[in-house]
Copies of this chain bind each other. A is one copy, B any other.
Amino acid sequence: MIEQKLADLGITLPNAPAPAANYVPYVQSGNLVFIAGQVCFGADGKLADRHKGKLGGEVSDEAGKEAARLCAINLLAQLNAATGGDLDRVTRCVRLGGFVNARPDYAAIPQIVNGASDLMVEVFGDIGRHARSAVGCAELPFDCAVEVEGIFEIK
């Protein structure tokens, strides 16, 4: 059902991106899956120029929101791996943590992170609605515009 929803949205999940360092992309404890912060690499495994840099600087609001959506797609790719390829086992998107690479005067942070939040609701409906924190960071790995981490409940 979720697989069909992704197809309807025209989303092909990338191979779950490998971590940038000595850690794993997700850990399950009880029925919670903690997913590592995902950055805004595209389905080709590359960081597009338009998703590199700071909001309020070289990255436009539109590109920032796209970047957040890419982070969410990468979260789904990890979640797909965590559920053995069965996203219908997801019972709730519990929490997203959104980190925006922002200039010190760029305050439209919620609007950017919406790119990730909106996707969760598009894909999962009501169980995609989550608690969320969104903050502006001095810098992010690889100078990515956005990073998003997540906690999901699965059955």
Contact = CB atoms under 8 A, between A and B. Distances in A.
B99 A37 contact: no
Interface in A119-155: 121, 129-143, 147, 149, 151, 153
Contact of A23 (B22, B31, B130, B142): B130
Copies of this protein, total: 3
A113 interface: yes
Nearest to A55: B139
A92 B29 contact: yes
Contact of A27 (B20, B54, B94, B114): B94
23 contacts: A20-B110, A21-B132, A21-B134, A22-B118, A23-B96, A24-B130, A26-B131, A27-B92, A27-B94, A29-B32, A34-B131, A36-B133, A37-B132, A56-B139, A99-B135, A103-B138, A103-B139, A106-B139, A109-B139, A133-B147, A135-B139, A135-B140, A138-B138
